[in-house]
Amino acid sequence: MAKLTGIKIFGGNAHKVLAQQVCDYLDLPLGKSTSTRFADGEIRVEVNESARGDDVYIIQPTCAPTNDTLMELLIMLDAFRRASAGQITVVMPYYGYARQDKKVKPREPISGRLVADLIQAAGAHRVVAVDLHAEQIQGFFNIPVDHLYAGPIIGKFYEEAGYVGKEDVVVVSPDVSGVGRARNLAEKLKCPITLIAKRRPEPNKVDIVEIIGAVEGKKCVIIDDMVDTGGSVIIGAEALLKMGATSVEVACTHPVLSANASQRIQDSVLDRFICLDTLPIPSERVVPKMQVLPVAPLIAEAIKRHHMNESVSELFSTWRSGG
């Protein structure tokens, strides 16, 4: 790969390891910046090298502690804008507040839109995100958004694991909104799709209503964009096994894994939990059932193509949007 010029990549404190992995892939040094705090908790950011006229990329998933990582991102944007960076692209492997993308009840905010407004106001010229919880979030921005799909990474994993064309494999969508994602993986694996119909009486609570499709005697692969507490996929797995499934595993893009979710997954009926490292996973939360796939090559390729004015969508030429 030819050496890239006029580009600098920086990472916030949210996921320094991922930022370094992206730089290693592109054979670039990680930009020098520091983020510290005043005694009262205010975030202080300093850019420790010139960025004037450069194509700057800030890698920062707005993961837990979400408010801190989001605020740090906004302050970094302001710092680079005032440092006369040429173009500033925010790379958000995980977009926090994405679950609040619409009003479900009266007098509720649309926090996903508020986050978009803040990022634009702080000085971003472009956003790169991985598997947004809701695709309409792209429309919250008045600047270009490159939406990267993690599905091909998961599909390749199962392809190499020998799941393609097996009559005893079925892909399961954990809800109606995830049908497109499940359909894409099912087409990749040449297998049928099943849907879990459920309702959420309140956040992080789920009731299984019905399983639509045949699962008896099947290995079930539940695919979702994120797993937070783990309750939804575990309850879904238990329901599938009661319907005659021989095994259940989960593949997701974003391992939010709040509280004791990792241990719940380890103690559950799930055979395996596949995820990407879009968020940092502390070593104490990595359990034996968990297998983590790298997302850095995908992000690095998108950055390179954007910087070189090449097509990003070609990375997903065999993967439909909407999944």
- Which pairs with CB-CB distance under 8 Å and at least 24 residues apart come from 110-115? 112/137, 112/140, 113/140, 115/62, 115/70
* Catalytic (active site) residue 304: no
Query: CA-CA distance, 59 to 296, in Å (whole number)?
Result: 11
- Beta strand spans in the chain (E): 7-11, 33-37, 43-47, 55-59, 87-92, 126-130, 145-148, 169-173, 193-199, 207-212, 219-227, 247-255, 272-276, 290-293
Between CA 177 and CA 162 the distance in angstroms is 27
Place of tokens 């710092």: 79
For the record, the structure tokens of 267 come out as: 């103690």
| Sheet with strand 207-212: strands edge to edge | 207-212, 193-199, 169-173, 219-227, 247-255, 272-276, 290-293
Helix-then-strand count for the chain, H and E: 8, 14
Q: Single out the residue of 26, 78, 72, 74 nearest to residue 51, CA to CA.
A: 78
Please pick, among 188, 198, 218, 304, the residue that the annotation labels catalytic.
198
Strands 87-92 and 126-130, how do they pair? Answer: parallel
Residues labelled catalytic: 198
